């Protein structure tokens, strides 16, 4: 088994390799003067089971091309099996046609990864479960809930917890987390989105008065939804509001917005490498997922059960 990484999140790749007690494969992923990507693998991978760790966050197109070219290089070097480990799957929010003459870009990206030569895909908390069906190759979708629930129990287990979904679409995710937190009660934020990147909280479904609220979501981008939801929850009597999100996209001024919000803390995994602004924010904390990814990779290599990780 070999572990290879592009430039998207080298610290995560090194942490996974350390968990597996393996060195990262010696390879160069660099650019020509015109920004064309060039990949060269400096060691033999013939007949090897290779895992390529590369989230496709900002700059999404560059990181996606790095992933595709690395897969192609491995295929042409006669690797036995190539698994694309994509902790954050970019373009996942374009998983359906929201209107006429619009693309389903998540399906296009799935096709690109497959055609490049990947034999298997490993992701974490896909934005929509149906994206697994976009691939014609085996696809494992890991869940961040076990890592989050363990952190919540250790830090806030003595509070009167209530799990809150920031929108109706996230109720299934919130209910799964609530079940792990000794069947904590559930509330829902009813919001209306006027245009992309902006949201307006309309109502809180459930009694949050006197409760320590845990907002749960898969992606935090602009941060507007979480900040508005936190304000509404505090206005409805919540004692504190903490948000847990798997993927901290946090584009633009999101980190500053979170810092100035009524959120006690935003907890995100390290599926996306933190920018300087995110690292400097006083109320943003990272949860490591290298052990989760490393154990899943070990089980795939051993041909043992991945789903039993979440039993």
Binding residue numbers for Mg(2+): 127, 167
Q: Both tokens of residue 98? A: 């929201």
Separation CA 243–CA 74 (nearest Å): 39
Neighbouring residues of 66: CB distance < 8 A, sequence distance ≥ 6: 6, 7, 8, 29, 37, 39, 54
Separation CA 234–CA 241 (nearest Å): 7
- Given a contact cutoff of 8 angstroms between Cβ atoms, the answer to whether 280 and 305 are in contact is no
Separation CA 27–CA 120 (nearest Å): 21
Closest alpha carbon to 29 in 74, 89, 75, 60: 74
**Would you name the residues annotated as active-site residues?**
191
DSSP-derived pairing of the beta strands 186-195 and 240-248: unpaired
Burial 209-245 (b: 16+ CB within 10 A, else e): eebbbbbbbbbbbbbbbbbbbbebbbebebbbbbbbb
Residues in binding site for ATP: 34-36, 93-94
Main-chain phi, psi angles of 257, to 5 degrees: -65, -40
Residues in binding site: 34-36, 93-94, 127, 167, 193, 217, 221-225
């Amino acid at each position: 088994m070999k572990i290879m990484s592009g430039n998207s999140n080298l610290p995560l790749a090194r942490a996974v390799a350390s968990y597996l007690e393996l060195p990262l494969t010696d390879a160069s992923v660099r650019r020509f003067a015109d920004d064309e990507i060039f990949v060269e693998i400096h060691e033999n991978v013939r007949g090897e089971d290779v895992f390529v760790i590369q989230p496709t966050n900002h700059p999404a197109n560059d990181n996606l091309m790095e992933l595709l070219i690395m897969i192609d290089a491995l295929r042409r070097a006669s690797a036995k099996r190539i698994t694309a480990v994509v902790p954050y799957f970019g373009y996942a929010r374009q998983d359906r046609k929201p209107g006429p003459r619009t693309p389903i870009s998540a399906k296009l990206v799935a096709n690109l990864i497959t055609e490049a030569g990947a034999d298997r895909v490993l992701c974490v908390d896909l934005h929509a479960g149906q994206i697994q069906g976009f691939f014609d190759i085996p696809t494992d979708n890991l869940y961040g809930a076990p890592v989050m629930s363990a952190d919540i129990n250790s830090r806030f287990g003595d509070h009167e917890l209530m799990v809150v979904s920031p929108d109706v679409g996230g109720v299934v995710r919130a209910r799964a987390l609530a079940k792990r937190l000794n069947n904590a009660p559930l509330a829902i934020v009813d919001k209306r989105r006027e245009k992309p990147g902006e949201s307006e909280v309309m109502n809180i479904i459930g009694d949050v008065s006197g409760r320590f609220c845990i907002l749960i979501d898969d992606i935090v981008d602009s941060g507007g939804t979480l900040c508005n939801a936190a304000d509404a929850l505090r206005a409805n009597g919540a004692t504190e509001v903490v948000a847990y999100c798997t993927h901290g996209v946090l584009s633009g001024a999101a980190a500053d917005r979170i810092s100035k919000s009524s959120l006690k803390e935003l907890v995100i995994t390290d599926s996306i490498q933190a920018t300087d602004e995110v690292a400097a924010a006083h109320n943003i904390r990272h949860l490591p997922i290298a052990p989760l990814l490393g154990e899943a990779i070990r089980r795939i290599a051993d041909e043992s059960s991945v789903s039993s990780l979440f039993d």
